């Protein structure tokens, strides 16, 4: 193997929907080479492009796919999961109170505080920088005179995907660990 070739673990495949648009823009839909090969052998995807890196077994040798497309179209009409990551994406990683987009300091805020009966729902959670979160404290928008930029609501998959298009792919790689950490379902 030439030194210029990447190791298989550095070869994720970009996953396209059956319409050849990425399944998701942000995070960019990527599969590990293992998951990708599994899908290839199960005839669930077509290989669109390949890396130079090959994998071998006793029976076969093949170049790892760099881009695959799903055979069956995945509809984006389903409701997106209610996760911290998707809340941040809906709000474009921007504090809904002051407009700051310092991602390191981004938290999420209950618009109506939990202490006043506010629930953890799409309609009551917004992205907020830690400064605004502390400043607002346990007060309602009216009490704090701090109102979210946009009235929070549940986004469609289409809206989330459109937001995600604003983020260049490399943004994901830097924050891959963050993404794994953030993308867990929130408590109802």
Q: Give the separation between CA 175 and CA 151, rounded to whole angstroms.
A: 27
Quick one: which segment of 28-36, 38-46, 124-132, 138-146 binds Zn ion (CB under 5 A)?
124-132
**Residues in region 126-145 near Zn ion by CB under 5 A:** 129, 132
Quick one: which segment of 45-53, 122-130, 140-148, 160-168 binds Zn ion (CB under 5 A)?
122-130
- The CA distances from residue 1 to 4, 9, 53, 55, 64, in Å, are 8, 15, 8, 11, 14
> Beta-carbon neighbour count of residue 133 at 10 Å?
19
Q: Count how many residues are written for the chain.
A: 188
Taking CB under 5 A as the criterion, the residue among 98, 112, 144, 157 binding Zn ion is: 98
Quick one: which segment of 8-16, 95-103, 137-145, 147-155 binds Zn ion (CB under 5 A)?
95-103
**Residues in region 24-63 near Zn ion by CB under 5 A:** none
Tell me: does residue 97 bind Zn ion (CB under 5 A): yes
Nearest CB to Zn ion, comparing residues 11 and 126: 126
Q: Give the separation between CA 38 and CA 151, rounded to whole angstroms.
A: 43
Q: Are 64 and 10 in contact (CB under 8 A)?
A: no
Cβ-based neighbours of 4, under 8 Å, separated by 6 or more = 52
Tell me: does residue 160 bind Zn ion (CB under 5 A): no
Nearest CB to Zn ion, comparing residues 8 and 131: 131
Size of the site for Zn ion (CB under 5 A): 6
Taking CB under 5 A as the criterion, the residue among 39, 64, 68, 95 binding Zn ion is: 95
> What is the four-CA torsion angle of 5, 7, 9, 14, rounded to 10 degrees?
10
Chain residues in the site for Zn ion (CB under 5 A) = 95, 97-98, 100, 129, 132
């Amino acid at each position: 193997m030439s030194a210029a070739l990447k190791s298989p673990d550095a070869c994720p495949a970009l996953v396209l929907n059956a319409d050849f648009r990425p399944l998701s823009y942000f995070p960019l839909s990527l599969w590990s080479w293992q998951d990708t090969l599994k899908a290839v052998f199960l005839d669930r995807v077509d290989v669109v492009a390949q890396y130079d890196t090959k994998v071998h077994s006793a029976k076969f040798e093949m170049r790892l796919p760099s881009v695959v497309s799903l055979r069956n179209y995945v509809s984006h009409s389903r409701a997106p999961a209610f996760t911290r990551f998707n809340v941040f994406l809906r709000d474009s990683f921007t504090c809904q109170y002051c407009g700051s987009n310092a991602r390191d300091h981004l938290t999420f805020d209950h618009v109506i505080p939990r202490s006043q009966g506010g629930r953890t729902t799409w309609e009551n959670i917004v992205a907020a920088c830690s400064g605004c979160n502390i400043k607002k404290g346990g007060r309602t928008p009216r009490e704090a005179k701090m109102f979210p930029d946009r009235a929070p609501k549940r986004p469609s998959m289409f809206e989330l995907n459109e937001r995600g298009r604003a983020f260049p792919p490399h943004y994901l790689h830097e924050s891959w660990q963050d993404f794994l950490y953030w993308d867990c379902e929130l408590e109802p």
